[in-house]
Every structure is written in C-alpha cells, then in structure tokens.
Amino acid sequence: DAGVIQSPRHEVTEMGQEVTLRCKPISGHDYLFWYRQTMMRGLELLIYFNNNVPIDDSGMPEDRFSAKMPNASFSTLKIQPSEPRDSAVYFCASSPPGRGYGYTFGSGTRLTVV
Amino acid sequence: SQQGEEDPQALSIQEGENATMNCSYKTSINNLQWYRQNSGRGLVHLILIRSNEREKHSGRLRVTLDTSKKSSSLLITASRAADTASYFCATSYDKIIFGKGTRLHILP
C-alpha cells in the first residue's frame, strides 16, 4: 500500500488566492482527518469524516475553510481566500473502521501564503 | 481540554542512554497513543495503550498508563541517533487530540 497520499507537497500562493489541498486515504480506511500544524499552535484537528460524511468540523477556523469527501478515496481541503496566517503544514490522516486504531499520516502539504 | 501535554518540551541525551517522556491529560479517554515525527515528515504511529491497560511494550519502546493520575510515559531504551525526532502523545475519546510534543535529540 502506498500509504496516505497528499498533494501538492509544497504550495506557495499569494494572499487572496484559492488553495486546494488533496488527500487519498488508505484503501479500506473509513476515517479521514485533516490536521494543521504550526509552531505556535501545534497540531490542530480541523475536520474529520467517517464513511465520507463530515462528523466534526468544529476545528475549521472560519468560513474561508471548507472540506469535502466525494468518495472513499479522495478528499479536499479548500481555503478561499487564503491569508498569510493560513501558512502551515496541513496533514491528512486515515484510520481503519472501529475505534482503537492508530492513524496513518500523509507527508503533509507545506502551505506558504505571501 | 482533552489535549495531552508532554513533558519535557525538549530532551537531549547521549546515544545508548534511555529517554523518558511524560504525558498528562485532563479528561476520560478510550486509549492513548504515541507518535513520532521526524523533521519535515508526517507523524508515525508508535504504540497504542487502551484505558484498561497499564503497560505495553514494542521493541525498545515501553509505555505506561496511569488513568488515576491521568498520565502516561514513553520510555525508549538504548537510544540511537535515529531516535532523534519529536514525540507526541495523543488522547482518544471520540477523536484524537495531540499534545505539543517533546523534541528528543540523541547526541553521538
């Protein structure tokens, strides 16, 4: 298995532009999580899905952020419009059905908004 | 907050020594997990201990859990240069919440 695949690895964009981050979870995993990591705030859970349905989006910073999971093998996190304070590393993770399993993380997308 | 808090924030030890990191949390949990993150990489799951377990081993890793004190420890024995990384505890109830991590540096 190729693991959790995120794209792009790096993204540099200008303030005000739309940014779309992509994630392909491990086949058979029915939980998908989006995290953001910064030095100041550490790892923050933004949103998570179970069987493609958003379960908890309380960590999404504001309306500029949106996430979708149209099918079991693909999810997107969109920021529109982007701001410099959105600069961070964004991780996607997936886990198998049921509780009591660790997460498999992707390599992350390093986003820089200038 | 459910978030775990690791202690110390940073730790430097000589290669071959044992490294101990601690984690405290505030609410009930189903399980507690430890992850490692190498610089510039994603997190790697190391070990999971359930709330009804007190100790677990995996290779050179030993994890303990004391639910009465709401604390856990991760012991890495016979440390190696490759163990240099950040280590995070993550508490799980309905979702996993991560602490800020301990930066471990193994000196040659």
CA distance B82 to chain A (A): 18
Residue tagged 């509780």 (tokens): A99
Distance CA(A99)–CA(B73), nearest Å, equals 22
* Position B2 pLDDT exceeds 60: no
User: What pLDDT band is residue B96 in, cutting at 50, 70 and 90?
Assistant: confident
**Cα(A69)–Cα(A51) distance, integer angstroms:** 9
Strand B19-24 to strand B43-50: parallel, antiparallel, or no bridges (unpaired)? unpaired
Query: What are the strands of the beta sheet with B55-58, ordered from one edge?
Result: B5-7, B19-24, B71-76, B61-66, B55-58
Q: Which residue has the tokens 């997190």?
A: B43
Q: Average pLDDT, stretch B78-92?
A: 94
Mean pLDDT of B79-89: 96
Give the C-alpha separation, B76 to A106, whole Å. 25
Q: What are phi and psi of A99, to 5 degrees?
A: -100, 170
Chain A neighbors of B99, CB-CB under 8 A: 42
Give the per-residue pLDDT at B1: 46
Q: Which residues of A touch B43 (CB under 8 A)?
A: 43, 91, 93, 103, 105
| Sign of the C-alpha dihedral computed for residues A109, B91, B66 and A99 taken in this order | negative
Query: From the list B31, B45, B50, which residue is nearest A104 (CB)?
Result: B45
Indicate the residue of A4, A56, A102 with minimum beta-carbon distance to B95.
Answer: A56
Q: For residue B79, give the nearest of B18, B35, B2, B22 by alpha carbon.
A: B18
Query: Which of residues 49 through 88 in chain B touch A, CB cutoff 8 A?
Result: 50, 88
Angstrom distances, CA of residue B80 to CA of B13, B18, B44: 10, 10, 17
**Mean predicted confidence (pLDDT) in B73-87:** 97
Q: Please, what is the Cα angle at A36 between B19 and A57, to 5 degrees?
A: 120
Q: What is the pLDDT of residue A1?
A: 66
pLDDT over 90 (residue B92): no
Chain B residues with CB inside 8 Å of A35's CB? 98
Distance CA A11, CA B7 (A): 33
pLDDT band at B27 (very low <50, low <70, confident <90, very high): confident
Statement: residue B34 has pLDDT above 50: yes
Q: Which of the two residues, A46 and B94, has the higher pLDDT score?
A: A46
With beta carbons under 8 A apart, name residues in chain A contacting B31: 99-100
pLDDT recorded at residue B97: 85
Regions in chain A scoring below 70 on pLDDT: 1
